[in-house]
Amino acid sequence: MIVRPRPHWLHLLFVRHGSILYRIFPQLVFTTGLACVIVLAHGQLFHWKVTLTSSPFSLMGVSLAIFLGFRINASYDRYWEARKLWGRLLIEARNLTRQALTLTSADVDVHGFALTQIAFVRALRNQLRGRPQIEGLHGLISAERLQRLAVARFAPSLVLLWLSEWVRDRRVRGEIDPILAQRMETPLGGFSDVLGGCERIASTPLPFTYSVILHRTVYLYCMMLPFGLVDGIGLMTPVVVAFVSYTFFALEALSDEIEEPFGNMPNDLALDAMSAGIEASLREMLGEVPAPVMLPDAHYILS
């Protein structure tokens, strides 16, 4: 996730870090160079004059902009829903830790229970980003459980089961009232909802045909645009083509990035930072000193 202060309006025109220009630069150079060649050839293709005007491109441009808008909205809906799910995870973890600290007997050790919640958060992050199941889990759960997670297919579900077993054991031992134990199942159910919601987003991308149609249309439009402009604006054709191409290519690339919000691209969610934030909150509730807040790197990217 790109996290940076908003620069001055003039600096914003030339900013590189935090932009998407590096992804579309080759396509932008190609379409602009093609426009230059078409201007030099006076709109001819193999000695055949391509008779196009700007009128059809005006109609096509409006339709393409609407199509891109739908694509951006669909991708951003997935991105924002993923962010809300991780925000809910923070809320449910705080609720569950607070209930464990206040609803159980005074002599109950809640420290291991809170660490298991942190293990759930990290296991969920690992699953969503395709990392090893036990990455970052050492010191949070026992070695025996680490071995089980290493070969598990759905590690967060297994950690969630252990959290429920802890509540059951406290209820069986009389360390928590059965009615209060039932209340602790509410945030545990929230954990399960978050897990299922994240898995749904990660395993169900936007239809591939949707992306193919948009990709082809954008490129054909930008490659044909110089033929429709060369007779009307002459030497300014490459400038206009570069501006239009940048807009369309950038919107397409951005929608492609945020479509998968759990990835490692600059505009994806900062799962590492959010995991660290949840851990810091729980450790502070336990009376420990939390780790320092994660900060963006030199390129303003927070992973």
pLDDT digits (tens, 9 = 90+) for 226-261: 888 888 888 888 999 999 999 899 988 888 889 999
Tell me the pLDDT tens digit for each residue of 141-166.
999 999 999 999 999 999 999 999 99
Q: Which tokens go with 8?
A: 């001055």
Is residue 19 situated within a structural domain?
no
Is residue 82 situated within a structural domain?
yes
Q: Which domain does 80 fall in, by range?
A: 70-205+271-287
What percentage of the chain has pLDDT greater than the value 90? 53
Beta pairing class for 48-49 and 44-45? antiparallel
Assess contact for 195 and 206: CB atoms under 8 A: no
* Number of domains forming the structure of the chain: 1
pLDDT bin (cut points 50, 70, 90) of residue 46 is low
299, pLDDT greater than 80: no
Is residue 295 situated within a structural domain?
no
Is residue 229 situated within a structural domain?
no
Of 2-6, 37-41, 108-112, 116-120, give the range with the top mean pLDDT: 116-120
Is residue 180 situated within a structural domain?
yes
Strands (E), the chain: 44-45, 48-49
Is residue 175 situated within a structural domain?
yes
192-198: average pLDDT: 96
| CA R_g for the chain | 26
Q: What pTM did the predictor assign?
A: 0.89
Is residue 217 situated within a structural domain?
no
Task: Name the more confident of 299 and 285.
Answer: 285
Is residue 17 situated within a structural domain?
no
186, pLDDT greater than 90: yes
pLDDT bin (cut points 50, 70, 90) of residue 296 is confident
Question: Residues for the chain: how many in total?
Answer: 303
Assess contact for 225 and 214: CB atoms under 8 A: no
32-57: average pLDDT: 77
Neighbours of 296 (CB within 10 A): 17
